[in-house]
Structure 1
Amino acid sequence: MRFLSGLFLAATAMAFSATSHAQVIITQYYEGGGTNKWIELTNLGTSAVNTASPQLRLGLWAVAGSAGTINITGAPSQQMDLNFIIPAKGSVLIGTPANGTEVPYLTSASAAQTSSAVMNFNGNDGVALMDGSNNIIDAFGTGINAVDRSYYRNLSVTGASAGFTISEWTMATLAVVQGAAMGNPARLNYHLDNTCVAPAAAPASAVYYSITANSIGGAFSSVTADEYLVLLSTSATLSALPQNGVVYNNGNVIGNATVINRSANNIFYASGLQPSTPYYFFIFALNSNCMAGPVYLTSQLLTTTNVTAATPQPGTALTYFGNLHSHSSYSDGNMDDPTKTPADDYAFAKESMCMDFLGISEHNHTGAGMSLSRWQPGLAQAAAASSASFLAMYGMEFGVISEGGHSIIYGMDSLMGWEPNQYQRFVERGNYGGAGGVFETINQHGNNAFVYLAHPESDDYNNLFSNAYSAAADDAIVGTALESGPANSTSIGYNNPGSSMAFLNYYKILLSKGYHVGPAIDHDNHNMTFGRTARTRLAIISAQLTEAAILQSMRQMRFYATQDCNAKISYTINGQQMGSVMLGTGTPVLNIGWETSSPVSSIRVMAGTPGSGNLPVQIANLSGNNLSYTDATLANFSERYYYLEITEDDGSIIVTAPIWYTRVDGTVASGGFTAFTAMNQPTSVLLKWSTIDEDNNAVFNIERSTDGGRTFAIIGSLAGKGSAAVTNNYSFTDNHPFADQAYYRIRLTDADGSVQLSLQRMINRSGIEKTAFNIYPNPVEAIANIHVYSRAGGIALITIYDMAGKQLLRKNMPVSSGQQVLALPMLSLTSGSYIATININGTQVTRTFYKK
């Protein structure tokens, strides 16, 4: 039987102390014949110590010959960095590579570390334990001569001493040390009685945080133990138990069960499971930071079981959990191991609990380590890491904190920036709301590109929170983070969340000003912790786990922030789900359902008036199951937004995106507009609108103004659907858009000749390129399909460069006005990143791509 498992402690099973200096001391000095030299170090603490982090050193103060007494002053004559683990209450030896068998129970291999230089001491040479700055922590020998003898530390000593005190030590002859039995403190490699015993109790209970068709994850109550061993089986009973003294690793088989976790973390997670199948988890407590370990408590164990979910039906809207704010070594991430790449980070996240997607949002400037040459490889690695069950995305974190703040951007095919030769789309540093700024660039790009605000501050984004409402900002921004980090956390135990809802008030401010935004939670990972610092997640409701579907759901604000990574929230008003902007007859009826890890203790219904400047307030506090709530106070022709703040019994908080509801009772003209949007596409403008209660609609005329909205001309028409009492959706593409600022509106004419006009929508295409092209597929294999749009016919000069700027290929190809696809062979290029430029009629555009 074989299970794929999410590993929580891949490299080591010990929890290392960050305060190791105080608990490590020198406990024995042995100056034998010839090269037989030993130093014993003992860890007095209750947690293991990694002597390399923080760094510990051993120093030697050597003098000529062997006469005279030891004097430890000034700098050491020799020193060595230590690099080994000392178990709790355990001892280790440092020796010379040439140590023989003078001590019959030791060989040179008994040493945890050796040195010919530092361990080359005589009886008048001092030895000291030092920190990484060469400060003495513990010293041996000042004022004595220890030639041909051994000294061991008295058991009454409980801490280090930078000054040598002879009364703390007992002198022993070499013969006594050589014959010392186990239990005698004169014996080398033994100081404290640290024989392993089994823990006194086993974990008592478990809770499940994540159950999907292919995975189960959760946590269990902790006990006094060094570690836990978690076994997984499809059988309700075990055919074999773990054996004392045997170290088991993830994937090992014990009878009819498989090891899925051995660590100090009280978390378990298994993936690669079968849908609709019961699985059993067997959890043992063990002690390992001791001699003759590990020792398992097998007389008591926790057995818990659950069933994987059924395979979801195609097209069903599901809730996907993940994080869109993280960093790899391509900018300033992977600080714990800079050799890792985005591909490694996605692989790690894929095996984390409650992680359906990971977005790596690299800083967009070289000051944080990013460069244009890394953009395309990052996109390629994201595409390669994505599968039916996991989505890898690659975006950017724009800006610097000191000049406008940070924002998270996805859906852009080009790196935005301001540094020469390090961007594909120029956006000035700190420019969010101005001409050519972040918001305008996102809106011009279209194609579901979006920005959301990361760890916001009051004066960020060109004073967005204090300035008047901006339609351009509203079109670009989909949300703001309510919680973030800790950015530099190294925890992988799901137990180190950021400050709870620290940025919630900024969400409320944006809603009060009239912005249409949803709430996010960020991890801002800078180490290999993706998905494992905490159970907090961004939850996105989508019919598919694809980049296009997730981008669309974010644009539609079908998402919420949750501190419970298994919280599935259903929230609608009159049948429309969270994120909707709607008109309706009668009072709004809120329907709420949920599936959470811990019982829900309260649901606060928050409401406010868009654009009023007044923060949302609580209008109800609900409890119970699958609730319905009606706001009878909303007057006719009034608008209000509603969102939920849900609290679970364990304190976890969930905040949903709002629903914006305008009440219109029986007075909407036939075919009343419920929504109208205009969005820039690379070569066109896409218009979308919805109507309610159509009855006798005849025609929709699409009108455009190029003189600031003073006069309008018809650019197209659509017939009405004429269906009563339902919402109808329409779209129209302006394939010949105006090159600058234009206004759009829809004129609805009924069969009886009555007319109704929509609101106006402004589009600015002054920054849209006259020539546009994209390379597909990307990464490229044998042939690159170059999708080109040109406003006029002519000759396209296509040039390919390597990332150092060396020209590799140059080709002229005829193009006509409009869109077309040019096929360019790529067989001569080796695997790697390249830059492509296309020049048509003097207009040049640049793209990067990756060749497989």
Structure 2
Amino acid sequence: MKTTHLSPLFGALLLALCHGGAFAAPAEHQELEATLHAPFKAADARRTFSMSFHYPGLERPGTVDWTLELVDPRGRVAKRWRGRRVIRGDAASVTVPVAWDGRLGGVAAPAGLYRVRLRAGLIGDHEEPVVQDWQIAVGALPAQRTPRFAPLPGVREMTGQAGMAPAPGALPYTVYLANLHSQSNHSDGGGALDDCKGAQDPLGAKYGPEAAFAYARGHGLDVLAVSEHNHMYDGSDGTNANGDAARARALYQAGLASAAAFNATKPDFLALYGMEWGVINQGGHLNIFNSDELLGWESNGRGELFADTATPRSDYAALYTLMRRRGWVGQFNHPAHSGQFVVGGVPLGYTEDGDEAMVLCEVMNSTAFSTNDSETETRRSNFEGACNRLLEAGYHLAFSTNQDNHCANWGASYSNRTGILLPNGTPLNRENFVAALKARRVFATMDKTAQLVFTANGRMMGERFVNRGPLTLQANFASSSGKKVAAVAIMEGVPGRNGTVTEVSNLATASFTPSPGAHFYYAKVTQEDGNILWSAPVWVTQE
């Protein structure tokens, strides 16, 4: 979920005046979250669509203006619904007043994959409207065939807990299932489930990183990243003039020590402690996974920095340069379509240093403030469009899917996971984890029992290579729970073009000769239950 921080106070007051005085200076998580629930399949073509709107900390009632569009398989808007909903501080559910009857122009809608697209904004708010986009299946879809694929073993299988060895002919990798975005009481997370509503007061909740690691491991995860907001170590959502700078720096080091201590006795689990750097307003959040230094821009009234290393707020070009110099790797968190990660005045702007340091892009998250602990959360957000813009800008990114947990349900709100591939027999530690991210050997899945490994002429996803002649792309899917594939899409884009990513094939195996020049390709598989998997791309220079 995206969050908002507005400073200085004068700017917030000016915005409030410009927008009718409805909004005071927002804290870090005060902005609209809009999610869409569009059932992928139904007994017939008819559908009921529902939405959820939430604006944490909203001081007075506001009105959400929303538009919902049904887009047919050829990309044309076939139906449109509009409405408004008054909201207050709590989440509000909205069902589209008139359900779609499955007909277009008075006749049954042709079978195929349709998209349901939501655009919603709070009237008078300064933020860009939220856009959400999900597929639905209408009618009987053609049967999808995928290659025979020996699924990769998980770490607990390799260590004997399930008594399994790698399947014959399997690729020589082990899959580790991760949640790479969460908070504890070292910033604004860690709230007890029976009393967790939105973000917690910085440093004020019940549970810290040790509890988070133990909870995640107990719920079947192999990796948890506790990524604390870097500017909250002073105990404030703003700047604490009376804060203890030495204590703030020591708290970050204590978090690193807690992860190291947990890993020392749990070789089948990787506890990661790092930071979520930045603010949303005139900024953007990103995770840094392997920094032993706390980065920041705030100081107390004595001029003491609440960080080990000074980094100017919202200067992403400078941050990328520092990250590359230090060997740190990062993830774009819940990227917006516009207004974030600005470099040289360009949103989602590219730099060579950023390309080296940034390795992941969150493509889908469950809602950050979920208290669900049974993996059934229905409020989910899709960021594929923004991730595609980053890829088209020139970034070499794999997709991840996380939960941004602020409540004490680390990894348990939904079944989504980020799959990390390490060579068989490689110890699960931070060094090898970072190496896998740098190689982009990663897939994102909404179903923890499913895998997707994408290859190009036999080369692994994440690779960059020069190709001559035909190119064969293959989406290798496996499900240990017996799920079937409803749809496959192989997507194509051009790095540095700043254009549009398009579907090049709807088959799991596609062979063709690309046009000369640079391309990237990735696979997207939709299961029969609507859950989606995204592979990492491959980058191909065709000669």
TM-score interval (norm. to shorter): 0.5 to 0.7
Query: Superposed, which structure 2 residues align to 1:258-657 within 5 Å?
Result: 274-276=161-163, 309-310=164-165, 316-336=172-192, 338-353=205-220, 355-366=221-232, 367-368=236-237, 371-386=248-263, 387-420=266-299, 421-433=305-317, 437-446=318-327, 449-457=328-336, 458-462=338-342, 466=347, 469-500=350-381, 502-543=382-423, 544=426, 545-596=428-479, 597=481, 598-622=483-507, 627-632=508-513, 634-635=514-515, 637-657=516-536
Match of 1:722 in 2: none
Q: What is the CA–CA distance in structure 1 between the aligned matches of 2:208 and 2:413, rounded to whole Å?
A: 19
Quick one: which amino acid aligns to residue 363 of structure 2?
Answer: L
Q: What is the CA–CA distance in structure 1 between the aligned matches of 2:529 and 2:348, rounded to whole Å?
A: 38
Q: What is the CA–CA distance in structure 1 between the aligned matches of 2:526 and 2:267, rounded to whole Å?
A: 32
Deviations 1:735-774 (A, max 9, x none): xxxxxxxxxxxxxxxxxxxxxxxxxxxxxxxxxxxxxxxx
Q: What is the CA–CA distance in structure 2 between the aligned matches of 1:312 and 1:341, rounded to whole Å?
A: 39
TM-score by length of 2: 0.61
Report 1 or 2 for greater relative contact order, CA contacts < 8 Å, sequence distance ≥ 6: 2
Q: What is the CA–CA distance in structure 2 between the aligned matches of 1:618 and 1:603, rounded to whole Å?
A: 10
Instruction: Determine if contact 2:225/2:272 at 8 Å carries over to the other structure.
Output: yes
Instruction: Determine if contact 2:341/2:349 at 8 Å carries over to the other structure.
Output: no
Instruction: Determine if contact 1:642/1:660 at 8 Å carries over to the other structure.
Output: yes
Shift of 1:531: 1.3
Instruction: Determine if contact 2:226/2:273 at 8 Å carries over to the other structure.
Output: yes
Q: What is the CA–CA distance in structure 1 between the aligned matches of 2:421 and 2:152, rounded to whole Å?
A: 16
Shift of 1:430: 1.5
Q: How many residues align?
A: 356
Shift of 1:339: 3.3
Shift of 1:356: 0.7
SS of equivalent to 1:460: coil
Q: What is the CA–CA distance in structure 2 between the aligned matches of 1:468 and 1:334, rounded to whole Å?
A: 33
Instruction: Determine if contact 2:491/2:524 at 8 Å carries over to the other structure.
Output: yes
Quick one: which amino acid aligns to residue 409 of structure 2?
Answer: T
SS of equivalent to 1:461: coil
Deviations 1:405-450 (A, max 9, x none): 21111121211111233211110112112xxx2111101112xx11
Instruction: Determine if contact 1:211/1:566 at 8 Å carries over to the other structure.
Output: no
| Distance 1:656-1:450 versus aligned 2 partners, 3 A rule | same
Instruction: Determine if contact 2:461/2:537 at 8 Å carries over to the other structure.
Output: yes
Instruction: Determine if contact 1:328/1:341 at 8 Å carries over to the other structure.
Output: yes
What is the percent sequence identity of the aligned residues?
Answer: 30
Shift of 1:456: 1.5
Quick one: which amino acid aligns to residue 208 of structure 2?
Answer: T
Q: What is the CA–CA distance in structure 1 between the aligned matches of 2:520 and 2:528, rounded to whole Å?
A: 27
Match of 1:181 in 2: none
Instruction: Report the aligned-residue RMSD.
Output: 2.7
Shift of 1:214: 4.3
Q: Hey, which of these two has a bigger chunk of helix by percent? A: 2
Instruction: Determine if contact 2:155/2:268 at 8 Å carries over to the other structure.
Output: no
| Distance 1:428-1:658 versus aligned 2 partners, 3 A rule | same
| Distance 1:519-1:577 versus aligned 2 partners, 3 A rule | same
Quick one: which amino acid aligns to residue 400 of structure 2?
Answer: A
| Distance 1:390-1:315 versus aligned 2 partners, 3 A rule | farther
| Distance 1:498-1:444 versus aligned 2 partners, 3 A rule | farther
SS of equivalent to 1:606: strand
Shift of 1:505: 0.4
| Distance 1:465-1:477 versus aligned 2 partners, 3 A rule | farther
Shift of 1:653: 0.4
Quick one: which amino acid aligns to residue 398 of structure 2?
Answer: G
SS of equivalent to 2:341: helix
Instruction: Determine if contact 1:641/1:660 at 8 Å carries over to the other structure.
Output: yes
Shift of 1:628: 3.1
Quick one: which amino acid aligns to residue 643 of structure 1?
Answer: Y
Query: Superposed, which structure 2 residues align to 1:756-767 within 5 Å?
Result: none
Q: What is the CA–CA distance in structure 2 between the aligned matches of 1:490 and 1:211, rounded to whole Å?
A: 30
TM-score by length of 1: 0.40
Instruction: Determine if contact 1:511/1:615 at 8 Å carries over to the other structure.
Output: no
Q: Which runs of 4+ in 1 moved over 4 A?
A: 209-215, 311-315
Q: What is the CA–CA distance in structure 2 between the aligned matches of 1:587 and 1:483, rounded to whole Å?
A: 33
SS of equivalent to 1:487: coil
> Can you give the 5+ residue segments of structure 2 that lack an aligned partner in the other structure?
1-150, 194-204, 239-246, 300-304
| Distance 1:514-1:357 versus aligned 2 partners, 3 A rule | same
SS of equivalent to 2:466: strand
Quick one: which amino acid aligns to residue 358 of structure 1?
Answer: L
Q: What is the CA–CA distance in structure 1 between the aligned matches of 2:347 and 2:407, rounded to whole Å?
A: 34
Match of 1:192 in 2: none
Instruction: Determine if contact 2:229/2:275 at 8 Å carries over to the other structure.
Output: yes
SS of equivalent to 1:655: strand
Shift of 1:528: 1.0
Quick one: which amino acid aligns to residue 469 of structure 1?
Answer: Y
Instruction: Determine if contact 2:362/2:399 at 8 Å carries over to the other structure.
Output: yes
Q: What is the CA–CA distance in structure 2 between the aligned matches of 1:592 and 1:467, rounded to whole Å?
A: 28
Shift of 1:340: 2.3
Bigger radius of gyration among the two = 1
Instruction: Determine if contact 2:282/2:339 at 8 Å carries over to the other structure.
Output: no
Query: Superposed, which structure 2 residues align to 1:237-256 within 5 Å?
Result: none
SS of equivalent to 2:281: helix
| Distance 1:467-1:528 versus aligned 2 partners, 3 A rule | closer
Quick one: which amino acid aligns to residue 489 of structure 2?
Answer: R
Deviations 1:128-165 (A, max 9, x none): xxxxxxxxxxxxxxxxxxxxxxxxxxxxxxxxxxxxxx
| Distance 1:601-1:334 versus aligned 2 partners, 3 A rule | same
Deviations 1:609-628 (A, max 9, x none): 22222211111112xxxx53
Shift of 1:213: 6.9
Instruction: Determine if contact 1:541/1:553 at 8 Å carries over to the other structure.
Output: yes
Quick one: which amino acid aligns to residue 578 of structure 1?
Answer: M
SS of equivalent to 1:402: coil
Q: What is the CA–CA distance in structure 1 between the aligned matches of 2:156 and 2:496, rounded to whole Å?
A: 45
Q: What is the CA–CA distance in structure 1 between the aligned matches of 2:387 and 2:535, rounded to whole Å?
A: 11
Match of 1:156 in 2: none
SS of equivalent to 1:325: coil
> Can you give the 5+ residue segments of structure 1 that lack an aligned partner in the other structure?
1-208, 216-271, 277-308, 665-852
Match of 1:144 in 2: none
Q: What is the CA–CA distance in structure 1 between the aligned matches of 2:366 and 2:319, rounded to whole Å?
A: 24
Q: What is the CA–CA distance in structure 1 between the aligned matches of 2:487 and 2:172, rounded to whole Å?
A: 28
